[in-house]
Structure 1
Protein backbone atom coordinates (compact mmCIF):
# COMPACT_ATOMS: atom_id res chain seq x y z
CA UNK A 1 0.00 0.00 0.00
CA UNK A 2 1.81 3.11 -1.22
CA UNK A 3 0.73 6.68 -1.82
CA UNK A 4 -2.10 6.57 0.69
CA UNK A 5 -3.22 10.15 0.04
CA UNK A 6 -4.35 11.35 -3.37
CA UNK A 7 -4.01 14.85 -4.77
CA UNK A 8 -7.73 15.34 -4.04
CA UNK A 9 -7.13 14.43 -0.37
CA UNK A 10 -4.66 17.25 0.06
CA UNK A 11 -2.26 17.74 2.95
CA UNK A 12 -2.67 15.62 6.11
CA UNK A 13 -1.82 18.62 8.29
CA UNK A 14 -3.45 22.04 8.54
CA UNK A 15 -1.94 25.09 10.18
CA UNK A 16 -3.46 28.40 11.27
CA UNK A 17 -1.92 31.64 12.51
CA UNK A 18 1.65 30.35 12.63
CA UNK A 19 2.91 33.92 13.09
CA UNK A 20 0.87 34.26 16.29
CA UNK A 21 2.20 36.67 18.89
CA UNK A 22 1.10 34.47 21.79
CA UNK A 23 3.38 31.62 22.89
CA UNK A 24 0.39 29.24 22.84
CA UNK A 25 0.54 26.40 20.32
CA UNK A 26 -2.78 24.59 20.08
CA UNK A 27 -2.72 21.04 18.72
CA UNK A 28 -5.78 19.08 17.65
CA UNK A 29 -4.88 15.51 16.74
CA UNK A 30 -8.51 14.36 16.36
CA UNK A 31 -9.96 17.36 14.54
CA UNK A 32 -11.53 15.55 11.59
CA UNK A 33 -13.64 12.50 10.76
CA UNK A 34 -12.62 12.58 7.11
CA UNK A 35 -11.19 9.43 5.52
CA UNK A 36 -8.71 9.35 2.64
CA UNK A 37 -10.32 8.39 -0.67
CA UNK A 38 -8.41 5.11 -0.93
CA UNK A 39 -9.60 3.93 2.49
CA UNK A 40 -13.31 3.87 1.68
CA UNK A 41 -15.44 3.55 4.82
CA UNK A 42 -13.21 1.06 6.70
CA UNK A 43 -16.31 -1.14 6.70
CA UNK A 44 -18.15 1.17 9.10
CA UNK A 45 -21.63 2.67 8.87
CA UNK A 46 -22.15 6.39 8.31
CA UNK A 47 -23.44 6.71 11.88
CA UNK A 48 -20.26 5.15 13.25
CA UNK A 49 -18.13 7.43 11.10
CA UNK A 50 -19.96 10.48 12.46
CA UNK A 51 -19.55 9.36 16.07
CA UNK A 52 -16.80 10.10 18.58
CA UNK A 53 -14.84 6.99 17.58
CA UNK A 54 -13.81 8.76 14.37
CA UNK A 55 -12.94 12.19 15.78
CA UNK A 56 -13.36 14.62 18.67
CA UNK A 57 -16.54 16.57 17.86
CA UNK A 58 -16.25 20.25 18.73
CA UNK A 59 -12.51 20.17 19.47
CA UNK A 60 -11.45 21.97 16.30
CA UNK A 61 -14.24 24.56 16.56
CA UNK A 62 -13.21 25.49 20.11
CA UNK A 63 -9.54 25.52 19.08
CA UNK A 64 -10.25 27.93 16.23
CA UNK A 65 -12.04 30.27 18.60
CA UNK A 66 -9.02 30.14 20.92
CA UNK A 67 -6.75 30.99 17.99
CA UNK A 68 -8.55 34.33 17.81
CA UNK A 69 -9.02 35.05 21.51
CA UNK A 70 -5.46 34.10 22.52
CA UNK A 71 -3.69 34.97 19.24
CA UNK A 72 -2.48 31.36 19.30
CA UNK A 73 -1.04 29.13 16.59
CA UNK A 74 -2.93 25.95 15.67
CA UNK A 75 -1.78 22.70 14.05
CA UNK A 76 -4.31 19.95 13.38
CA UNK A 77 -4.70 16.62 11.61
CA UNK A 78 -7.07 16.64 8.61
CA UNK A 79 -7.99 12.93 8.67
CA UNK A 80 -9.75 10.62 11.07
CA UNK A 81 -7.93 9.01 13.96
CA UNK A 82 -9.33 5.70 12.72
CA UNK A 83 -6.75 5.80 9.93
CA UNK A 84 -3.98 6.94 12.26
CA UNK A 85 -4.33 8.40 15.74
CA UNK A 86 -1.63 11.07 15.83
CA UNK A 87 -1.63 11.04 19.63
CA UNK A 88 -0.11 7.55 19.53
CA UNK A 89 3.36 6.36 18.49
CA UNK A 90 3.61 4.03 15.45
CA UNK A 91 4.32 0.96 17.55
CA UNK A 92 1.09 1.32 19.56
CA UNK A 93 -1.87 -0.81 18.48
CA UNK A 94 -4.12 2.15 19.34
CA UNK A 95 -2.46 4.16 16.56
CA UNK A 96 -4.60 2.15 14.11
CA UNK A 97 -7.20 0.59 16.40
CA UNK A 98 -9.00 -2.62 15.36
CA UNK A 99 -11.67 -1.84 17.97
CA UNK A 100 -12.88 1.49 19.38
CA UNK A 101 -15.20 1.29 22.38
CA UNK A 102 -17.92 -1.15 21.19
CA UNK A 103 -17.17 -0.76 17.47
CA UNK A 104 -15.09 -3.26 15.53
CA UNK A 105 -13.27 -1.58 12.64
CA UNK A 106 -13.02 -4.07 9.76
CA UNK A 107 -10.63 -1.89 7.76
CA UNK A 108 -8.16 -1.95 10.65
CA UNK A 109 -8.24 -5.70 11.25
CA UNK A 110 -5.06 -7.61 10.40
CA UNK A 111 -3.19 -4.64 8.96
CA UNK A 112 0.10 -5.72 7.38
CA UNK A 113 3.42 -4.18 8.37
CA UNK A 114 3.56 -2.45 4.98
CA UNK A 115 0.09 -0.96 5.47
CA UNK A 116 0.98 0.30 8.93
CA UNK A 117 4.12 1.92 7.56
CA UNK A 118 2.16 3.56 4.73
CA UNK A 119 -0.31 5.09 7.17
CA UNK A 120 2.49 6.20 9.46
CA UNK A 121 4.40 7.84 6.62
CA UNK A 122 1.30 9.50 5.17
CA UNK A 123 -0.26 10.86 8.35
CA UNK A 124 1.87 10.63 11.49
CA UNK A 125 5.26 11.66 10.10
CA UNK A 126 4.09 14.93 8.46
CA UNK A 127 2.10 15.82 11.58
CA UNK A 128 5.04 15.08 13.88
CA UNK A 129 7.43 17.00 11.65
CA UNK A 130 5.14 20.05 11.44
CA UNK A 131 5.00 20.24 15.23
CA UNK A 132 8.74 19.70 15.60
CA UNK A 133 9.60 22.33 13.00
CA UNK A 134 7.29 24.91 14.56
CA UNK A 135 8.77 24.36 18.02
CA UNK A 136 12.35 24.36 16.73
CA UNK A 137 11.79 27.60 14.79
CA UNK A 138 10.16 29.34 17.76
CA UNK A 139 12.89 28.26 20.16
CA UNK A 140 15.61 29.38 17.75
CA UNK A 141 13.97 32.80 17.75
CA UNK A 142 14.09 32.88 21.54
CA UNK A 143 10.36 32.23 21.91
CA UNK A 144 9.36 29.29 24.09
CA UNK A 145 6.03 27.78 22.94
CA UNK A 146 3.35 26.63 25.37
CA UNK A 147 1.86 23.35 24.12
CA UNK A 148 -1.87 22.80 24.62
CA UNK A 149 -3.56 19.80 23.00
CA UNK A 150 -7.32 20.02 22.54
CA UNK A 151 -9.71 17.06 22.78
CA UNK A 152 -13.33 16.15 23.50
CA UNK A 153 -14.80 13.00 25.05
CA UNK A 154 -18.17 11.29 24.95
CA UNK A 155 -20.59 11.78 27.91
CA UNK A 156 -21.32 8.04 28.03
CA UNK A 157 -18.57 5.45 27.67
CA UNK A 158 -19.26 1.71 27.75
CA UNK A 159 -22.69 2.56 29.14
CA UNK A 160 -21.33 4.62 32.04
CA UNK A 161 -22.22 8.31 32.45
CA UNK A 162 -19.32 10.68 32.99
CA UNK A 163 -19.96 13.65 35.27
CA UNK A 164 -16.63 15.40 34.70
CA UNK A 165 -17.04 18.23 32.19
CA UNK A 166 -13.47 19.37 31.59
CA UNK A 167 -10.39 17.25 32.17
CA UNK A 168 -6.98 18.86 32.68
CA UNK A 169 -4.45 16.17 31.79
CA UNK A 170 -0.71 16.07 32.27
CA UNK A 171 2.20 13.67 32.42
CA UNK A 172 5.16 14.18 34.77
CA UNK A 173 5.26 17.95 34.23
CA UNK A 174 2.18 19.37 35.99
CA UNK A 175 3.17 23.07 36.04
CA UNK A 176 0.60 24.30 33.54
CA UNK A 177 -2.07 21.84 34.70
CA UNK A 178 -1.61 23.00 38.30
CA UNK A 179 -2.01 26.64 37.27
CA UNK A 180 -5.13 25.91 35.19
CA UNK A 181 -6.73 23.90 37.99
CA UNK A 182 -6.00 26.73 40.41
CA UNK A 183 -7.64 29.22 38.04
CA UNK A 184 -10.62 26.92 37.49
CA UNK A 185 -11.01 26.59 41.25
CA UNK A 186 -12.12 30.20 41.36
CA UNK A 187 -15.28 29.45 39.38
CA UNK A 188 -18.10 26.90 39.49
CA UNK A 189 -18.90 27.17 35.78
CA UNK A 190 -17.84 23.59 35.01
CA UNK A 191 -16.82 20.39 36.80
CA UNK A 192 -13.06 20.46 36.19
CA UNK A 193 -10.78 17.61 37.32
CA UNK A 194 -7.19 16.48 37.02
CA UNK A 195 -6.40 13.52 34.71
CA UNK A 196 -10.03 12.62 34.03
CA UNK A 197 -11.62 10.91 32.18
CA UNK A 198 -8.18 9.73 31.04
CA UNK A 199 -4.65 9.97 32.36
CA UNK A 200 -1.06 9.03 31.50
CA UNK A 201 -1.71 5.34 32.23
CA UNK A 202 -4.20 5.33 29.33
CA UNK A 203 -1.49 6.23 26.84
CA UNK A 204 -2.99 9.62 25.95
CA UNK A 205 0.05 11.81 26.61
CA UNK A 206 2.17 10.92 23.58
CA UNK A 207 2.08 14.41 22.05
CA UNK A 208 2.77 16.01 25.43
CA UNK A 209 5.80 13.78 25.95
CA UNK A 210 7.17 13.91 22.41
CA UNK A 211 6.79 17.63 21.82
CA UNK A 212 6.32 19.13 25.29
CA UNK A 213 8.40 17.26 27.84
CA UNK A 214 11.29 16.53 25.47
CA UNK A 215 11.55 20.22 24.65
CA UNK A 216 11.10 21.47 28.20
CA UNK A 217 7.85 23.24 27.29
CA UNK A 218 4.91 24.02 29.50
CA UNK A 219 2.28 21.56 28.30
CA UNK A 220 -1.22 20.32 29.03
CA UNK A 221 -4.04 18.35 27.43
CA UNK A 222 -7.58 19.72 27.71
CA UNK A 223 -10.48 17.27 27.41
CA UNK A 224 -14.00 18.71 27.03
CA UNK A 225 -17.19 16.65 27.32
CA UNK A 226 -18.53 16.86 23.79
CA UNK A 227 -22.18 17.53 24.65
CA UNK A 228 -21.04 20.91 25.99
CA UNK A 229 -19.64 21.95 22.59
CA UNK A 230 -22.15 20.38 20.23
CA UNK A 231 -23.27 23.74 18.81
CA UNK A 232 -21.88 27.21 18.18
CA UNK A 233 -23.26 28.66 21.40
CA UNK A 234 -21.69 25.96 23.55
CA UNK A 235 -18.41 26.27 21.66
CA UNK A 236 -18.31 30.03 22.20
CA UNK A 237 -19.14 29.74 25.91
CA UNK A 238 -16.44 27.09 26.36
CA UNK A 239 -13.86 29.08 24.41
CA UNK A 240 -14.58 32.17 26.50
CA UNK A 241 -14.17 30.16 29.71
CA UNK A 242 -10.92 28.56 28.55
CA UNK A 243 -9.57 31.90 27.36
CA UNK A 244 -10.06 33.26 30.86
CA UNK A 245 -8.46 30.44 32.82
CA UNK A 246 -5.61 29.97 30.31
CA UNK A 247 -4.82 33.67 30.38
CA UNK A 248 -4.83 33.68 34.18
CA UNK A 249 -2.64 30.57 34.28
CA UNK A 250 -0.02 31.88 31.86
CA UNK A 251 0.14 35.19 33.69
CA UNK A 252 0.67 33.39 37.00
CA UNK A 253 3.43 31.21 35.55
CA UNK A 254 5.25 34.19 34.03
CA UNK A 255 5.60 36.00 37.35
Structure 2
Protein backbone atom coordinates (compact mmCIF):
# COMPACT_ATOMS: atom_id res chain seq x y z
CA UNK A 1 0.00 0.00 0.00
CA UNK A 2 2.75 2.47 0.89
CA UNK A 3 4.29 4.38 -1.96
CA UNK A 4 7.91 3.84 -2.94
CA UNK A 5 10.38 6.66 -2.52
CA UNK A 6 10.45 7.22 -6.30
CA UNK A 7 6.77 8.02 -6.38
CA UNK A 8 6.43 9.48 -9.89
CA UNK A 9 7.25 7.58 -13.05
CA UNK A 10 7.97 9.04 -16.46
CA UNK A 11 4.45 8.00 -17.46
CA UNK A 12 2.99 10.22 -14.73
CA UNK A 13 4.37 13.36 -16.35
CA UNK A 14 4.95 16.70 -14.67
CA UNK A 15 3.64 17.55 -11.21
CA UNK A 16 2.75 21.13 -12.16
CA UNK A 17 1.20 22.82 -15.19
CA UNK A 18 1.26 26.42 -16.37
CA UNK A 19 -1.42 27.94 -18.60
CA UNK A 20 -1.06 31.24 -20.45
CA UNK A 21 2.58 31.77 -19.37
CA UNK A 22 2.83 34.93 -21.48
CA UNK A 23 -0.29 36.49 -20.01
CA UNK A 24 -0.04 40.28 -19.85
CA UNK A 25 -2.50 40.74 -16.98
CA UNK A 26 -1.53 41.50 -13.39
CA UNK A 27 -3.03 38.36 -11.87
CA UNK A 28 -1.11 35.17 -11.23
CA UNK A 29 -3.76 32.53 -10.58
CA UNK A 30 -2.90 29.46 -8.50
CA UNK A 31 -5.01 26.31 -8.16
CA UNK A 32 -3.47 23.97 -5.60
CA UNK A 33 -6.31 21.40 -5.64
CA UNK A 34 -6.96 21.25 -9.35
CA UNK A 35 -6.73 17.51 -9.98
CA UNK A 36 -7.94 14.22 -8.49
CA UNK A 37 -5.42 12.19 -10.50
CA UNK A 38 -3.29 9.64 -8.67
CA UNK A 39 0.27 8.62 -9.61
CA UNK A 40 0.52 5.06 -10.93
CA UNK A 41 2.38 3.85 -7.86
CA UNK A 42 -0.10 5.34 -5.40
CA UNK A 43 -2.48 2.37 -5.67
CA UNK A 44 -5.24 4.96 -5.21
CA UNK A 45 -4.09 5.24 -1.57
CA UNK A 46 -6.45 2.36 -0.82
CA UNK A 47 -9.56 4.42 -1.57
CA UNK A 48 -12.64 3.37 -3.51
CA UNK A 49 -13.97 5.07 -6.63
CA UNK A 50 -16.54 7.19 -4.76
CA UNK A 51 -13.90 8.69 -2.48
CA UNK A 52 -11.59 9.41 -5.40
CA UNK A 53 -14.16 11.58 -7.18
CA UNK A 54 -15.30 13.37 -4.02
CA UNK A 55 -14.18 16.70 -2.62
CA UNK A 56 -11.59 15.06 -0.39
CA UNK A 57 -9.47 14.28 -3.46
CA UNK A 58 -9.67 17.70 -5.17
CA UNK A 59 -11.67 20.92 -5.49
CA UNK A 60 -14.38 20.18 -8.09
CA UNK A 61 -14.87 23.05 -10.53
CA UNK A 62 -11.99 25.11 -9.18
CA UNK A 63 -9.66 24.55 -12.12
CA UNK A 64 -12.38 25.36 -14.65
CA UNK A 65 -13.14 28.62 -12.84
CA UNK A 66 -9.43 29.43 -12.62
CA UNK A 67 -8.96 28.75 -16.33
CA UNK A 68 -11.81 31.09 -17.22
CA UNK A 69 -10.45 33.77 -14.89
CA UNK A 70 -7.07 33.37 -16.55
CA UNK A 71 -8.68 33.93 -19.95
CA UNK A 72 -10.86 36.85 -18.86
CA UNK A 73 -8.02 38.73 -17.14
CA UNK A 74 -5.16 37.46 -19.32
CA UNK A 75 -3.40 36.05 -16.27
CA UNK A 76 -0.96 33.19 -15.96
CA UNK A 77 -2.33 30.12 -14.17
CA UNK A 78 -0.29 27.59 -12.20
CA UNK A 79 -2.04 24.38 -11.18
CA UNK A 80 -1.04 21.03 -9.73
CA UNK A 81 -1.48 17.72 -11.56
CA UNK A 82 -2.11 15.21 -8.75
CA UNK A 83 -4.62 14.76 -5.96
CA UNK A 84 -4.14 16.74 -2.80
CA UNK A 85 -4.40 13.44 -0.92
CA UNK A 86 -0.97 12.50 -2.23
CA UNK A 87 0.34 15.94 -1.27
CA UNK A 88 -1.70 19.05 -0.50
CA UNK A 89 0.28 21.86 -2.12
CA UNK A 90 -1.44 24.42 0.12
CA UNK A 91 0.23 22.94 3.21
CA UNK A 92 3.89 23.03 4.27
CA UNK A 93 5.81 19.75 4.60
CA UNK A 94 5.70 19.83 8.39
CA UNK A 95 1.89 19.94 8.43
CA UNK A 96 0.01 16.71 9.09
CA UNK A 97 -2.58 17.96 6.59
CA UNK A 98 -0.01 17.83 3.79
CA UNK A 99 -0.44 14.04 3.59
CA UNK A 100 -3.56 13.44 5.70
CA UNK A 101 -4.34 10.10 7.27
CA UNK A 102 -8.01 11.07 7.40
CA UNK A 103 -10.09 13.56 5.43
CA UNK A 104 -13.59 14.33 6.68
CA UNK A 105 -15.15 10.88 7.23
CA UNK A 106 -12.69 9.04 4.99
CA UNK A 107 -9.71 7.11 6.26
CA UNK A 108 -6.73 7.31 3.86
CA UNK A 109 -4.96 3.94 4.20
CA UNK A 110 -2.11 4.85 1.85
CA UNK A 111 -1.14 7.79 4.06
CA UNK A 112 -0.77 5.78 7.25
CA UNK A 113 2.66 5.17 8.76
CA UNK A 114 4.59 6.93 6.01
CA UNK A 115 8.32 6.69 6.52
CA UNK A 116 10.44 9.86 6.54
CA UNK A 117 11.78 8.80 3.12
CA UNK A 118 8.28 8.51 1.69
CA UNK A 119 7.21 11.87 3.10
CA UNK A 120 10.36 13.47 1.73
CA UNK A 121 9.81 11.85 -1.67
CA UNK A 122 6.29 13.20 -1.98
CA UNK A 123 7.45 16.63 -0.92
CA UNK A 124 10.33 16.63 -3.38
CA UNK A 125 8.26 15.26 -6.27
CA UNK A 126 5.08 17.34 -5.91
CA UNK A 127 5.30 20.24 -3.44
CA UNK A 128 8.75 21.55 -4.35
CA UNK A 129 8.25 21.71 -8.16
CA UNK A 130 4.86 23.35 -7.71
CA UNK A 131 6.07 26.15 -5.47
CA UNK A 132 9.38 26.51 -7.29
CA UNK A 133 7.44 27.23 -10.48
CA UNK A 134 5.39 29.92 -8.75
CA UNK A 135 8.52 31.45 -7.19
CA UNK A 136 10.28 31.51 -10.56
CA UNK A 137 7.37 33.22 -12.31
CA UNK A 138 7.10 35.83 -9.57
CA UNK A 139 10.85 36.49 -9.59
CA UNK A 140 10.83 36.96 -13.36
CA UNK A 141 7.95 39.39 -13.10
CA UNK A 142 9.68 41.39 -10.38
CA UNK A 143 12.83 41.57 -12.51
CA UNK A 144 10.73 43.02 -15.32
CA UNK A 145 9.11 45.51 -12.93
CA UNK A 146 5.67 43.95 -13.40
CA UNK A 147 3.14 44.30 -10.61
CA UNK A 148 1.59 40.99 -9.62
CA UNK A 149 -1.62 40.07 -7.82
CA UNK A 150 -1.61 36.53 -6.42
CA UNK A 151 -5.05 34.87 -6.54
CA UNK A 152 -5.59 31.30 -5.34
CA UNK A 153 -8.80 29.55 -6.43
CA UNK A 154 -10.60 26.81 -4.47
CA UNK A 155 -14.03 25.24 -3.99
CA UNK A 156 -15.83 23.87 -0.94
CA UNK A 157 -18.72 21.53 -0.22
CA UNK A 158 -22.28 22.75 0.49
CA UNK A 159 -22.45 20.38 3.48
CA UNK A 160 -19.53 19.66 5.79
CA UNK A 161 -19.74 17.08 8.57
CA UNK A 162 -23.55 17.27 8.36
CA UNK A 163 -23.68 21.06 8.56
CA UNK A 164 -25.17 23.17 5.76
CA UNK A 165 -23.03 26.05 4.56
CA UNK A 166 -25.00 29.11 3.52
CA UNK A 167 -22.07 31.18 2.29
CA UNK A 168 -21.61 30.87 -1.48
CA UNK A 169 -18.29 32.62 -2.04
CA UNK A 170 -15.55 33.09 0.51
CA UNK A 171 -13.02 35.90 0.20
CA UNK A 172 -10.05 34.85 2.32
CA UNK A 173 -6.94 36.69 3.39
CA UNK A 174 -4.09 36.51 5.84
CA UNK A 175 -2.54 39.64 7.42
CA UNK A 176 -2.79 41.59 4.16
CA UNK A 177 -6.48 42.31 3.58
CA UNK A 178 -6.18 45.12 1.01
CA UNK A 179 -7.58 43.25 -1.97
CA UNK A 180 -10.04 41.22 0.08
CA UNK A 181 -11.45 44.40 1.66
CA UNK A 182 -12.10 45.91 -1.75
CA UNK A 183 -13.65 42.75 -3.13
CA UNK A 184 -15.95 42.38 -0.14
CA UNK A 185 -17.05 46.00 -0.47
CA UNK A 186 -17.70 45.52 -4.18
CA UNK A 187 -19.73 42.35 -3.52
CA UNK A 188 -22.20 44.05 -1.15
CA UNK A 189 -25.75 43.66 -2.40
CA UNK A 190 -24.61 41.45 -5.25
CA UNK A 191 -25.81 38.15 -6.65
CA UNK A 192 -24.02 35.89 -4.17
CA UNK A 193 -23.74 35.48 -0.41
CA UNK A 194 -20.12 36.50 0.07
CA UNK A 195 -18.27 36.37 3.39
CA UNK A 196 -14.83 37.14 4.78
CA UNK A 197 -12.62 34.16 5.73
CA UNK A 198 -15.41 31.61 5.27
CA UNK A 199 -15.79 28.68 5.32
CA UNK A 200 -12.13 28.65 6.35
CA UNK A 201 -9.64 31.25 7.51
CA UNK A 202 -5.93 31.69 8.20
CA UNK A 203 -6.38 29.96 11.55
CA UNK A 204 -7.09 26.76 9.57
CA UNK A 205 -3.76 26.94 7.76
CA UNK A 206 -5.32 27.53 4.35
CA UNK A 207 -3.33 30.65 3.44
CA UNK A 208 0.01 28.84 3.09
CA UNK A 209 0.50 29.76 -0.58
CA UNK A 210 -0.27 33.41 0.14
CA UNK A 211 2.16 33.43 3.06
CA UNK A 212 4.85 31.77 0.98
CA UNK A 213 4.63 33.82 -2.20
CA UNK A 214 2.66 37.04 -1.71
CA UNK A 215 3.25 38.37 1.80
CA UNK A 216 7.08 38.43 1.74
CA UNK A 217 7.09 40.57 -1.40
CA UNK A 218 4.09 42.78 -0.71
CA UNK A 219 2.04 41.44 -3.63
CA UNK A 220 -1.69 42.11 -3.46
CA UNK A 221 -3.30 38.76 -2.81
CA UNK A 222 -6.52 36.91 -2.06
CA UNK A 223 -7.81 33.38 -1.73
CA UNK A 224 -11.20 32.65 -3.32
CA UNK A 225 -13.45 29.79 -2.20
CA UNK A 226 -16.56 28.94 -4.25
CA UNK A 227 -19.27 26.54 -3.06
CA UNK A 228 -18.97 23.70 -5.51
CA UNK A 229 -22.68 23.21 -6.23
CA UNK A 230 -22.51 26.58 -8.00
CA UNK A 231 -19.76 25.44 -10.39
CA UNK A 232 -20.63 21.83 -11.13
CA UNK A 233 -21.26 22.54 -14.81
CA UNK A 234 -19.92 24.82 -17.52
CA UNK A 235 -22.77 27.30 -17.20
CA UNK A 236 -22.24 27.78 -13.48
CA UNK A 237 -18.49 28.02 -13.90
CA UNK A 238 -18.91 30.72 -16.53
CA UNK A 239 -21.32 32.79 -14.43
CA UNK A 240 -19.20 32.60 -11.27
CA UNK A 241 -15.94 33.30 -13.11
CA UNK A 242 -17.46 36.32 -14.84
CA UNK A 243 -18.65 37.62 -11.46
CA UNK A 244 -15.27 37.07 -9.80
CA UNK A 245 -13.43 38.66 -12.72
CA UNK A 246 -15.58 41.75 -12.27
CA UNK A 247 -14.80 41.89 -8.54
CA UNK A 248 -11.09 41.49 -9.16
CA UNK A 249 -10.99 44.02 -11.97
CA UNK A 250 -12.86 46.75 -10.09
CA UNK A 251 -10.93 46.12 -6.88
CA UNK A 252 -7.54 46.26 -8.56
CA UNK A 253 -8.53 49.47 -10.34
CA UNK A 254 -9.62 51.00 -7.04
CA UNK A 255 -6.38 50.08 -5.28
CA UNK A 256 -4.33 51.32 -8.23
CA UNK A 257 -6.06 54.70 -8.22
CA UNK A 258 -5.56 55.04 -4.46
CA UNK A 259 -1.85 54.31 -4.83
CA UNK A 260 -1.33 56.85 -7.60
1:221 aligns with 2:227: no
1:241 aligns with 2:243: yes
1:96 aligns with 2:107: no
- Tell me the secondary structure at the aligned position of residue 41 of structure 1: helix
TM-score, with length taken from structure 2: 0.97
- List, as ranges, runs of 4+ consecutive aligned residues in structure 1 with deviation greater than 3 Å: none
- Tell me the secondary structure at the aligned position of residue 44 of structure 2: coil
Q: How many residues matched? A: 254
**For residue 165 of structure 2, what is the aligned residue in structure 1?**
162
- Tell me the secondary structure at the aligned position of residue 27 of structure 1: strand
TM-score, with length taken from structure 1: 0.98
1:44 aligns with 2:47: yes
**For residue 136 of structure 1, what is the aligned residue in structure 2?**
139
Whole-Å Cα distance in 1 between the matches of residues 17 and 240 of structure 2? 23
**For residue 122 of structure 2, what is the aligned residue in structure 1?**
119
1:152 aligns with 2:151: no
Return 5+ residue gaps in structure 2 as ranges.
none
1:201 aligns with 2:191: no
**For residue 30 of structure 1, what is the aligned residue in structure 2?**
33
1:108 aligns with 2:148: no
Return 5+ residue gaps in structure 1 as ranges.
none
- Report the CA distance between 1:120 and its aligned residue: 0.1
Whole-Å Cα distance in 2 between the matches of residues 54 and 2 of structure 1? 21
- Report the CA distance between 1:178 and its aligned residue: 0.4
- Tell me the secondary structure at the aligned position of residue 219 of structure 1: strand
Whole-Å Cα distance in 2 between the matches of residues 239 and 48 of structure 1? 27
Whole-Å Cα distance in 2 between the matches of residues 19 and 176 of structure 1? 24
Name the Cα RMSD after superposition: 0.7
Whole-Å Cα distance in 1 between the matches of residues 190 and 144 of structure 2? 39
- Report the CA distance between 1:188 and its aligned residue: 2.4
1:55 aligns with 2:58: yes
- Tell me the secondary structure at the aligned position of residue 172 of structure 1: coil
Whole-Å Cα distance in 1 between the matches of residues 177 and 190 of structure 2? 22
**For residue 18 of structure 1, what is the aligned residue in structure 2?**
21
